[in-house]
Structure 1
Amino acid sequence: MDFYHICFFLFYFFVKPTSPQLLINVKNQGGDVMQENITANVSEDTVTLEFLRLDGVYVSQLVDFTNEVEAMKVVIPGEEELGQFGYQTLCFLSHAAQADFIAPDAMAKLRQKNPGTVRVAEEDKGWRQSTATAWGGRAVRLLSAAAARHCAAARDRVYLRAADLARWPPRPGLDPSSPGSAVTPFPEHALTSDSSDGKPAVPPCLTETDSSKECICHLELCVNWYPCGLKYCKGKPQGGLSYRCGIKTCRRCHRQQYYVRRRDVCYSHT
């Protein structure tokens, strides 16, 4: 691990927010153990889950329940051998109906009887693929104040999909086709295939060798453990009422695809 990764590691584990957190030891599919931090903010109606991958990639997922916004922030360290220095912050916005986290008030009540236990999710929800169609830019502030703070470091690297825009309630400035829109669509040719052979008009960055050419970058990440539902048990025969008696836990992987104007700005860690 180089000096940069050591500094990033120390920052993550010792410079923590003051909000109460649930710290979970989680085993990934490779058998490695990582620590996840889960914070529920009842007053803002948000839940945040964050962790540091073993390759130095930091992931922070925020769900704003009131505004139905999910914001996945990813901080990717550059690879010096590829001429990438420093780090890159990305943020992917989507409609929160797919997040399937339990609500903040329920999350805030979770406690661990054995904090040192290594957790494994009960259900694997597989892969969710998302292809961005636009830069979010100023749109994130119109969608969610909490998400805007969460994604602030990403600046012009906030991405979203037209399909998700259609699911949120209409708001001034969120129509990509309107003048002065806060949303900037990707170039049209980046969203279509070459009609002559059916191949994508813009190639994947994995196959593009010219660092100055445009391409489609992809990023894969997995959230190996999160509370995705509540469990209910039946009461005694006399009462017959059910009561909350635990949580259901899930694993979900994400495959994000997005357009970049230059191959050399695609910091792709899979």
Structure 2
Amino acid sequence: MFSLAVPRNVLWLLVPLFGCWLPCLSDLKVLVRLEDGQVTEENIQADSEKDYITLEFKKTDGTFVTYLADFKQDVKIFRVLILGELERGQSQFQALCFITRLHSNEIIPSESMSKLRQKNPHAVRQAEETRGTDTIQMDVAVNFTKGVQLSPHIHNICAEAKEAIYTRQEDVRLWLERGIDASMFEVLPQPSSLPSLHPCKVCNQDWKPCICSYHLGLEWVPCSLKYCKNRDSSGKMSSYRCGIRSCQKAYNFHFYVTQKQLCLWDEET
């Protein structure tokens, strides 16, 4: 169970936090069951002043996943650090960043997240609601140097993935209408314009360009607030926030790579 209530004996701590004399951060660690049945620890941080949330966890194969929701810019960032196959000439790890628009019903507000407390930290959590899988064509490359226009967090989150930051044309059109510099985007080759471009999993040459796929599952995300009802002394009913609802959401990202060597995991799917 999770509660948004703040115990009376710690109310005095909120006074300096509202003025941010101390860091406006909260840290919540949650045990979560992954798709393969294994258990991992999610670390969720919320900054109510800068209005963003980060969710991080490690997959069974050693991949490190970071999800960041930037409410000020309506942007979400996924970063994955994938262990490399040294025997096949890869570096120690490979970094990818996927950037898309953030919608209001995907995760609870940073202010609510910062107040979230866990009653049983040893319980292994599973989402109450399954929201399926989105298949997203990440057909645009993002210039790392200019990425701060989309979100100031890109320079920190995507620093290891400077040459592998992707988004989609659907979101680019929206951002251009908001005045974002078009020079930070580059449309990537696609099978529709280059018939010889095939999925990496059917490509038999490690140095040939192809369309890579990466599956990413977020198994436990606080996606909405729960409201309870209360009757006062006069009999009047009112509602108040009394907890959260958790969701599971998965994504299949498809994106262009200059060589299959940058997408070796796709052989296993």
Shorter chain as denominator, the TM-score bin is 0.7 to 0.9
Match of 2:152 in 1: 145
Shift of 1:19: 5.0
Q: Residues 163-242 of structure 1: matches in 2 within 5 Å? A: 163-168=170-175, 169-173=177-181, 175=182, 181-187=183-189, 190=190, 192=192, 201-236=196-231, 238-242=235-239
Q: Residues 23-102 of structure 1: matches in 2 within 5 Å? A: 23-97=29-103, 100-102=106-108
Asked if the contact 1:133–1:191 (Cα under 8 Å) also holds between the matched residues in 2, the reply is no
**CA distance, structure 2, for counterparts of residue 182 and residue 19 of structure 1:** 31
In structure 2, the gaps of 5 or more residues are 1-23
Q: Is residue 133 from structure 1 mapped to residue 139 from structure 2 by the alignment?
A: yes
CA 1:139–1:128: 2 relative to 1, 3 Å: farther
Deviations 1:185-229 (Å, cap 9, x if unpaired)?
A: 113xx25167xxxxx541000010111211000101211101000
What letter is aligned with 1:40? A
Asked if the contact 2:79–2:98 (Cα under 8 Å) also holds between the matched residues in 1, the reply is yes
**CA distance, structure 2, for counterparts of residue 19 and residue 242 of structure 1:** 27
TM-score, length-scaled by structure 1: 0.83
**CA distance, structure 2, for counterparts of residue 231 and residue 193 of structure 1:** 47
Shift of 1:45: 0.5
Match of 1:5 in 2: none
**CA distance, structure 1, for counterparts of residue 105 and residue 92 of structure 2:** 30
CA 1:268–1:140: 2 relative to 1, 3 Å: farther
Match of 2:261 in 1: 264
Asked if the contact 2:79–2:158 (Cα under 8 Å) also holds between the matched residues in 1, the reply is yes
In structure 1, the gaps of 5 or more residues are 1-17, 176-180, 195-199
Asked if the contact 2:191–2:198 (Cα under 8 Å) also holds between the matched residues in 1, the reply is no
Asked if the contact 1:69–1:147 (Cα under 8 Å) also holds between the matched residues in 2, the reply is no
What letter is aligned with 2:247? C
CA 1:267–1:40: 2 relative to 1, 3 Å: farther
What letter is aligned with 1:228? C
Deviations 1:120-152 (Å, cap 9, x if unpaired)?
A: 110111101111111111442111102332112
Q: Is residue 155 from structure 1 mapped to residue 157 from structure 2 by the alignment?
A: no
Asked if the contact 1:45–1:104 (Cα under 8 Å) also holds between the matched residues in 2, the reply is yes
What letter is aligned with 1:186? L
Q: Residues 108-127 of structure 1: matches in 2 within 5 Å? A: 108-127=114-133
What letter is aligned with 1:239? K
Which contiguous aligned blocks of 4+ residues in structure 1 show a shift greater than 3 angstroms? 80-83
Asked if the contact 1:69–1:93 (Cα under 8 Å) also holds between the matched residues in 2, the reply is yes
Asked if the contact 2:25–2:48 (Cα under 8 Å) also holds between the matched residues in 1, the reply is no
